[in-house]
Each structure stands twice: as structure tokens, then as C-alpha cells.
Amino acid sequence: MRYSVNVPNFGEFAAPEVFAEVARRAEEAGWDALLVWDHVVEQKDLRREIADPWILLTAAALATRRIRLGTAITPVARRRPAKLAREVATLDRLTNGRMVLGAGLGAPVDDEYGSFGDTTDTRVLAERLDEGLQALDLLWSGAPVTYRGNQITIDDVVFLPAPVQRPRVPIWVGGFWPNKAPMRRAAWWDGAIPAMAGMEAARPPEVSEVRDLVAFLRGCRAENGLADKPFDIIIGGMSPAGPTAGHDVVGPLADLGITWWDERMPWGDDLERTEPILRRIEQGPPRI
């Protein structure tokens, strides 16, 4: 089991120097990764202060040496695949192979897509997401790429330098469980980072729900011929500090095959503040 910390790219975290300090202290306290949200307006009526996640991750990369860094999640459907491929590959080289790309549809769709004149048809966005992931994988290969989908076209290009990690930067796909489509998508890639019941309260999910999720993902991996390939399952919530936290909260999840515990804060006023999550970070991961 490995342990990540999950924070938004708004509020106090929007200052790159503050985000870098969060990353540095997470690394010192023994956490294995820092994941950041990827919003452009989030709920636009709240008028949040929001930072570009790639600038934040660059600041964190320069402040750390060991922990993984990534997004949770990037709405690939609202990004140009060529631009996203360059950003992630460059950061993977800067970090010497420590990047993870969390990917998904993103939300709220009306605010994050419709506000900028983009489609809000989730069927179109899902197709754009799937083609975008295929495009990223091809571009990161470093080989000549020609790709023609319904949404994305690439005409005889080579992207160099390639990421440090081979065959690609790990792609963890998010989505709301028990919706099966996003987890079916995740099963084609390198990991699943589902949103589950109780997410807004940062409540750890019920073991029975996680068991159903794991069975579904394993079934999909087997159908895809990938059952013997490494695959991460990331489950999160707020864990209490203390010597029994790992045994009580994380232990049963590890028994089911969960590979990462993702520490999160409840949605509310404290979500935008660094002090509560820094206090939890310094208490260390809920190790088993």
C-alpha cells in the first residue's frame, strides 16, 4: 500500500510557493504522492482563486526528490492532446519519472465546458476523452504517429523527448462508481481512481462497495487480456491519525487489493485552507 495526499488547485493552494511547501512537507512526512485537482473555474459562481495545475506541479517538482506528483483528475476532453502530452512529458523528465496523469471527463460540465462555448454533450466528451487517451499514449511512444478519430487527428508527427517512464506516464482514470462506463475505461489503462459515496464528506467508502468495484475492474482487466499486468486502484477519504488508523481504515482495503490510499479533506470551508491538510500530512500516512 502506498499513500497520496489530494488537494484542490484553488484557495490557498493556488499560490505556487504554498503548493511547493505542501509537497515538500508531504515528502518529509513519508507520503508517496501529492495529487492536485485540475479546474479552470470549478463552480464558477463561487469565483474561486484558481491556479494552473501544471505550474503548481512544476513548483512541487523543484521542491521534492522522491514523491510522485500528478493530477486527480485532468479533464482530457477539454485539453488539446498535443499540449497535454508535452506538459506531462516535460514534467516527467523534470521529476526523473515521478509523474502520474489522473484523467477523466471532469465536472461541473456546464461550468468547465459550456462557459467557454464548448459542447456539454457528455457522449461527445466521452469520445473525445477516449481518443485523447489514445493520442497521449501514441505521442509518448516517441515513434511516428498518425491517428484519425472522430474527434482528434494527428498527421505524421514525432514527439521527442519521450517521457522517462516507459511505455508511458501512468494513466489513472477517474469517474463516479457505481457508474460502470468510467471504470470500464480505467481497466484499459494503468489505474482507477473512483469517486464513491461519501466523497464530499471525505468518508472512507464501505468495504462492500470497494469489493464490488475491485471485482468489476478485475473482470474488465481479464476481458481485456490485461489480468497479469500491474494495475493501481486508488481509494480515498479522510483517515484519523494514530497507530490504529492504518489497521482500521486502510487494512481492509489492502486485503481487497487496493494499492493506494488517497488522503482527502471534506468539501467545505476548510477545503481551500492549507493548515488542516498540513496538520494531517505531518501526522504521517495511515500505514498498515
- Quick one: pLDDT at residue 245? 79
DSSP per residue, 47-60: ---B--HHHHHHHH
Residue written as grid cell 521529476? 95
Could you read off the pLDDT of 82-98 as tens digits, one per residue?
Answer: 999 999 999 999 999 99
Upper half-sphere CA count for residue 38 (Cβ side, 13 Å): 25
Binning pLDDT at 50, 70 and 90, where does residue 244 land?
A: confident
DSSP per residue, 60-95: HHHH-SSSEEEEEEEEGGGS-HHHHHHHHHHHHHHT
Most distant CA pair in the chain, distance: 55
- Quick one: pLDDT at residue 274? 97
Beta-bridged to residue 236, according to DSSP, are 262
**Average pLDDT value for residue range 74-83:** 97
Query: What's 251's DSSP letter?
Result: H
Long-range contact set of residues 208-212: C-beta below 8 Å, sequence gap at least 24: 209/177, 209/178, 210/235, 210/253, 210/256, 210/258, 211/256, 212/178
Q: Are 104 and 76 in contact (CB under 8 A)?
A: yes
- Quick one: pLDDT at residue 116? 97
Phi, psi of 198 (to 5 degrees): 90, 5
Could you read off the pLDDT of 152-173 as tens digits, one per residue?
Answer: 999 999 999 999 999 999 999 9
How far apart are alpha carbons 37 and 70 in whole angstroms? 9
- Beta strands 145-148 and 153-157, pairing class: antiparallel
What is the helix (H) or strand (E) element at residue 195, kind and residue range?
strand 191-195
- Quick one: pLDDT at residue 270? 93
- Quick one: pLDDT at residue 283? 95
Would the pLDDT of 243 be above 80? no
Domain 2-282 sits in which CATH superfamily? Luciferase-like domain (3.20.20.30)
- Find the length of the chain: 288
Q: Which amino acid, one-letter code, is at 203?
A: R
Could you read off the pLDDT of 196-232 as tens digits, one per residue?
Answer: 999 999 999 999 999 999 999 999 999 999 999 999 9
Binning pLDDT at 50, 70 and 90, where does residue 256 land?
A: very high
First to last CA, the chain: 8
Instruction: Report the candidate in 100, 101, 118 with the shortest Cα–Cα distance to residue 109.
Output: 118
Share of the chain above pLDDT 70, in %: 100
How far apart are alpha carbons 44 and 55 in whole angstroms? 21
Share of the chain above pLDDT 90, in %: 96
Q: Are 45 and 27 in contact (CB under 8 A)?
A: no
Phi, psi of 55 (to 5 degrees): -70, -40
